[in-house]
A and B are shown apart, each in its own frame.
Chain A
Amino acid sequence: MLELVDFGKSYDGVNAIQNVSFNVNEDEYLTLLGPSGSGKTVLLRLIAGLDRPDTGRIILNGQDITTMPTHLRGIGFVQQKYALFPHMSVRQNISFGLINHHSSPIRDEKKVNYLCDEMLDIVGLSGLADRGVGQISGGQKQRVSLARTLVTKPKLCLLDEPLGALDANLRERMTVELRDIRTTLGVSFIHVTGNEDEALGMGDRMIVLDKGCVIQIEEPNKLFAMPASVKVARHVNSYNILSGSTENNSFVFADYKLPMAAYAKSAAFYVVGIDKVTIEKVGSVKRKAKDITSFEAKFVDAEFMGSRVVYQFELADGQIFEVERHLSRETPVDYKAGEVRCLSWKAADVLAFASDGGLINENAKIRGTV
C-alpha cells in the first residue's frame, strides 16, 4: 500500500537518511529498529509529510504523494512526546481530527461523541473523556495520542517510540494492546523503536536502520536467526561478535584458534548467539568433540534479569563475551570474579560473516563482494 522509493534527506550536508526503499503491506505491523541518531524519526516525518525528502518518491495506494501536504495525506503520526493539545479535554483532543477535518468534517455532535467513545473503549480509556490532558498519567496520554490519530481512520499509522517513555510494567501491557488495537482496526502500523526486544516481539516484519540506511527487512524470527550482516547482528544485541581471520579451516582471533566450517574460507567475523553458549568447568568438555567448539574465559560479572541471567566473561584480548542462561532450564550459578570457565557451543550455531559484513551462507555462497 505504501511504497518508498530511494528516499534521501540531508540536514546541513549530513545525510540523515539515504537510499531508503521499502514497502508497507496492507494490515501489517512493521517495526523499525535503529539506535538513536539512525534517522528513524526523520524517516517518519518524511512519510507523514512534515518534512520534504531531498530525493526519492513516496507512493500511497498507487498515488504519488511526495509533494502532498500533511493534512491531505491521511497518514497518522503518533509523536514521541504525545503532543496533546493542552487547552482541551481528552474528548476534545480525540474529536479534534473529526470536527476539523479539511474536507469532510463531522458536524453531528452525537456521531462525534459516538466515534470518540468507541475509540476510548478500544484504547481502554472509557470514563476519562472529560478529564483535562494535564490530569492523566503518561501511559494514558500515550493512549489519548494514539486514539486521536486512529479515530481519523488513517490509511497508515506511524508510531514514534510509542513505548519509550513508559515504565516497564506499562510497556509490557501496551506491547500486547498495541498489537490488539492494530488487529481490531486493520490499519498498518510502522512502529519505530530503539529497543530490539520491542522490534523483534511486535513486528510482523522488521526493518533495521543503520546510519540512515536500511540494512535488512525480514520477519523477526528469520532476522534473529540469521542476520544478513554483522551490523544487523550488532543491532539485535544478542550475539557475541569476534573479529579475526580464517586460515586453514580455523578462525584466528586474539590468542584463540577456533574451528571454522569449510564453506567459510574468508570469514572475518565469527558470531555466536549469547543464548547458545554453555558454561562448564575447565576440562569437562572434550575439546576433540567434532561438533562442539569451546574456549576458556575469565568470569567478570553477572546481570540478573528475572527470568534469565546474563554472564559476562573476559577474553584474552579484553573483549567481553556474554552468555545468557534461562532460569527455566537451570538455577543460577554464582561464579567468583576472575574464575576461569570453559565456554562451549555447537559448531552449527556459528554464523560467519565476510570482511564486508555480509553473511557467508552454508551453501558455499558468499553474499556481497569480498
Chain B
Amino acid sequence: MTLNSNDRNADQRSYFERFSHYYLLVPGVTWMALFLIVPLLMMVYVSFWTQTTFAIHSELTTKSWVTFFSSETYFGALLRTIRIWLTVLFFTFLLGYPVALYIGLFVRSKTIQTVLLVACVIPFWTSFLIRVLAWRPMLGKEGAVNLVLQKLGIISQPIEVLLFTELAVVIGMVQIYVVFMVGPIAFMLSRIDGSLLEAARDIGAKPFTTFRKIIFPLSLPGVTVGAIFVSVMVLGEFATASALSGRKVNMLGNIIVTQVGSLKWAFAAVIGVVLTIVIAIIITALLRLVNLREEL
C-alpha cells in the first residue's frame, strides 16, 4: 500500500461519512415533496384556472379570486371561520387552563398525573363523528340539557338556540378540542420546580402574585403549543360545523367540501389557498409570541 492510496481511501470514507446521514432524509423529503409541496403548488396554480359550470380550463384568470372577495357568502365564511376560531380558542383556554393547573401543579404524583391525563383522552376512544353527533341528543329541543333544566323547573320553554346554531358548533368544538389545550399546558406546569414557588412565597409574594408572575409566564410555551394545536384543527374544521349547525353555519372548510362536491375545482383551490395563508399567519404570530426554542 502506498501512502497515496491510503490517503484516497481515507478521503473516500470521510466523503461517505460526511454525506451519508443525508440519505436518512430521502424517504421523508420524497414523501413531503410528492404529497405536500407539489399539491400545494398545484392548488395555487389551479386557483387561477378558468372555471365554467361543468368544466375547468387551464387558461389563467383571477376570476375565482375576485368572486371570493366580492361575494358576501364566501368572504363572510372567512370572517365566520376566524370568529369561531377565536371563540373556541378562548373557551378551550378558559376551561383547559384550570384543569391543566390542577393536573400539572397540584397533583404531585406522576402516576396520578398520567391517570388524569389519560382520563382526559377517554372521549377519543370513540370516533370523531360519533363524538360530534352525540351532541345532538344532548343539545336538541328535546335533548338531555333541555329536559333536565325543565324538570328542575329552571326553564319553562326549551332553549332552542342550543342546537343548529353557531353556539352548538362552538360548544361541540370546545369539548372536542379542549384536551389539546390541557395536555401541553399540564406538561409545562409539571416541569416547574416547586422550589421556585416556595422561593416566591418566601420573599413575600401572595399566592396569586406567584401565579401571575411565575407560574403563568412559565406555562406560556404550553399555552402556545396548545393554541397551535387547537387553531390548526379548528380552522380546517367542517364536520362539526355541518353536523351541529344543520349546515347553516358554513366555515371555509364547509365551502371547500361543497365546491369540490360540485366540481368547482378552481374555486375550491382559492379557498384552500386562503385557508393555508390564514393558518400560516396565525401559527407564525403564535410562535412570535413565545420563543419556543428558548423555553422548551
A residues in contact (CB < 8 Å) with B = 48, 50, 69-71, 74-77, 79, 81, 83-87, 96-97, 100-102, 145, 148-149, 152
Contacts and interface: CB of A to CB of B under 8 A. Distances in A.
Contacts of B204: 71, 74, 97, 100-102, 152
7 contacts: A71-B207, A77-B199, A79-B199, A83-B198, A97-B205, A102-B209, A152-B204
B206 interface: yes
A77 B204 CA distance: 11
Interface string B206-230: 1101000110011000000000000
Interface in B158-174: none
A145 B202 CA distance: 12
Nearest to B193: A83
Contacts of B207: 71
A74 B205 CA distance: 11
Given A48-B198, A71-B203, 16 more contacts: A50-B198, A71-B201, A71-B202, A71-B204, A71-B205, A77-B202, A79-B199, A85-B214, A86-B196, A96-B200, A96-B203, A97-B205, A100-B203, A100-B206, A100-B209, A148-B203
A244 to B, nearest CB: 47
B203 A76 contact: yes
**Which bracket fits the contact residues of B?**
10 to 19
B195 A152 contact: no
Given A70-B198, A77-B198, A96-B213, A86 B218 contact: yes
Contact of A85 (B196, B201, B202, B209): B196
Contacts, number: 70
B201 A50 contact: yes
A149 B203 CA distance: 6
Contacts of A75: 202
Nearest to B203: A97
B107 to A, nearest CB: 19
Nearest to A80: B195
Contacts of A77: 198-199, 202
A219 B205 CA distance: 36
A43 B196 CA distance: 19
B195 A83 contact: yes
Interface string B178-208: 0000000000000001011011111111110
A79 B218 contact: no
Nearest to A75: B202
A114 to B, nearest CB: 18
List of 3 A-B pairs having minimum Cβ-Cβ separation, nearest first? A97-B203, A83-B195, A83-B199
A87 B294 CA distance: 10
Contacts of A97: 203-205
A87 B198 CA distance: 16
A36 B110 CA distance: 26
Nearest to A148: B203
B193 to A, nearest CB: 7
Nearest to B196: A83
A148 B196 CA distance: 12
B202 A76 contact: yes
Contacts of B199: 77, 79, 83-85, 145, 148
B90 to A, nearest CB: 24
Contacts of B218: 86-87
Contacts of B201: 50, 69-71
Q: Which of B198, B203, B217 is packed against the most chain A CB atoms within 10 Å?
A: B203
Given A81-B195, A83-B196, A87-B218, A149 B213 contact: no
A99 to B, nearest CB: 9
A101 B214 contact: no
Nearest to B202: A77
